[in-house]
Structure 1
Amino acid sequence: MPNIIQPAQPPADARVAIVVAEWNKNITQKLLDGAVGTLTEQGIADNQIDVAWVPGAWEIPLVAMRLAETGNYAAVICLGAVIRGETSHDQHINRGVSLAMLDIALEFDLPVLFGVLTCNSLEQAIHRSGGNVGNKGSECAEAALQMIGLLGALDVGLLEAGE
């Protein structure tokens, strides 16, 4: 039977940063509300959550990187909404932002959660920001907590294995 590594409880003093885009704020505010609500429901104190608003999704990675560089955060949650228009602009934004966020996560050994909606229509974005498909901000917060706990369990497991 394989050993299953279970996430530990995130530490009580865990800080979480949230970078959220102002563009499509009617959507992103709901994502933010979902993320903050989930974090606080799961025991992260309100004063342990830092929120940085950026103009649009394209600006998310730079601020996420600056926050990661501080070493003060257990996770960075990135929230935005890019909705397809008449050109391929959305594809370029989505690709650049997603690859940059991956690079940040790997460079800083930090969970960087992709909560940027990449929708074909405003209706899809509404459904994913608290509508009938759930709230992707809340889902990112849940994933952030799980990753904080899993990385903590891995750290403990690696220390014990090395003893």
Structure 2
Amino acid sequence: MNRLEHYFLAANKWALVVLLSAMAVIVFANVSLRYTTNFSITWAEEVARYLMVWMTFLGAGMALRMGGHVAIANFQEMLPQAAQRALRIVILLLLLVFCAIMIWMGKDYMARARFQVTPATRISFSYIYAAMPIGFTLLIVHLLLIAKSFVLENRFAEVETDTASISGHGEPTPGLAANRD
């Protein structure tokens, strides 16, 4: 399971890197062309915007995993330990229900928008709206992967940084733990 989770995380991280890189290149090229040749790429703003939408939905699960979303912990910390765990179970279940509803709504948006096309690139809006059900599915997977440690210990996943390529050493080193205790 750890190996499968590792590959899942790596694929999610690389998807974000590719999307951010593509967006940066497109925006840089468009700005450079606009100021050097007075020519603008007609589809650049549209594509960059849709890449940002996809990055948001694909990255939300990673942020959840690390405890990066907004949370109010004061109320929970005032409760006894057993009540804290019960509250975290309720929060977990509410998040799962919310994500499931958002997957259903995202599929509905996709179905409604399948015949509409974007102004510049002329692609179906269903490809843009696909980010919603895919992103919330990833959120559910990330949530289930951290559910046990979240409910039992109020602990999120640790941030891992891959310094092997930078420092020349072999193994990735764990970074800061996103622990809210």
Fold shared by both chains (TM-score > 0.5): no
Q: Which of these two proteins has the greater Rg computed from alpha carbons? A: 2
Greater share of residues in strand: 1
**TM-score calculated relative to the size of structure 2:** 0.26
Greater share of residues in helix: 2
